[in-house]
């Protein structure tokens, strides 16, 4: 497995990631508390129109200086993490983890953790004190971010919330490097 920065012309390959997943339970936020509820469904692939809608957003992020880490198995793209370059938050000290996906057969291998850690390290290099994550509410995804040390944010970004009101909005305090 090789992780490297993705080139602009490779961005369409993101949509080849197998995002299929069986989801049995999802979280919702109720008065600041995470509540887990049954909500079974199958995610078969990317939603119709996702590439057409989200592709230009990713291109814009790339052109603004966003960082795209990609994992390859041979020549096949199997995971990607995207760190936005624009600072947000009431103290303007957050960068958003805009995108993190790992192909179905590469989950539970540590690849998602490796991509996440690369994004955190890059955010630290850029001077961010916190990482902002708008997470799909599935049990597996929320659990992933909780295990990484994320917590439900009290500094919800209004624009991101408007785009994804059912998501769980997290933040991660980025520790300074101790030398």
Flag whether 178 is in a domain.
no
Q: What is the pTM of this model?
A: 0.95
The CATH number covering residue 26 comes to 3.40.630.30
Residue 27 lies in a domain: yes
| pLDDT band at residue 179 under the 50/70/90 scheme | low
Residue 53 lies in domain:
2-173
Residue 20 belongs to some domain of the structure: yes
CA distance 4 to 97: 17
Tell me which H or E stretch contains 124. helix 111-125
- 101 phi, psi to nearest 5 deg: -140, 140
State residue 178's pLDDT score.
Answer: 64
For residue 23, is it within any domain? yes
* Spatial distance between the Cα atoms of 115 and 100, rounded to a whole number of angstroms: 8
Which tens digit of pLDDT belongs to each residue from 94-132?
Answer: 999 999 999 999 999 999 999 999 999 999 999 999 999
What are the tens digits of pLDDT across the range 38-82?
999 999 999 999 999 999 999 999 999 999 999 999 999 999 999
Whether residue 95 is contained in a domain is answered as yes
**Cβ-Cβ contacts under 8 Å for 8 (sequence gap 6 or more):** 59, 62, 63
- pLDDT of 15 over the 70 cut: yes
Distances (CA, A) of 7 to 19, 40, 104, 127, 129: 21, 36, 23, 23, 27
CB contact burial 71-101 (16+ within 10 A = b; e otherwise): bbeeeebbbbbbbbbebbbeeeebbbbbbbb
């Amino acid at each position: 497995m090789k992780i490297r920065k993705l080139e602009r012309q490779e961005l369409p390959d993101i949509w080849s990631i197998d995002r299929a997943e069986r989801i049995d339970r999802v979280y919702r936020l109720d008065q600041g508390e995470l509540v887990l509820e049954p909500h079974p469904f199958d995610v078969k692939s990317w939603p119709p129109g996702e590439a057409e809608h989200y592709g230009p957003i990713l291109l814009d992020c790339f052109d603004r200086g966003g960082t795209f880490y990609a994992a390859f198995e041979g020549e096949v793209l199997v995971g990607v993490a995207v760190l936005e370059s624009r600072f947000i938050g009431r103290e303007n000290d957050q960068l958003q983890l805009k995108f993190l996906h790992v192909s179905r057969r590469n989950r539970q291998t540590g690849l998602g953790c490796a991509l996440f850690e690369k994004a955190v390290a890059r955010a630290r290099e850029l001077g961010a004190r916190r990482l902002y994550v708008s997470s799909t509410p599935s049990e597996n995804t929320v659990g992933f971010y909780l295990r990484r040390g994320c917590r439900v944010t009290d500094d919800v970004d209004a624009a991101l919330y408007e785009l994804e009101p059912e998501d769980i909005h997290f933040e991660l305090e980025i520790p300074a490097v101790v030398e």
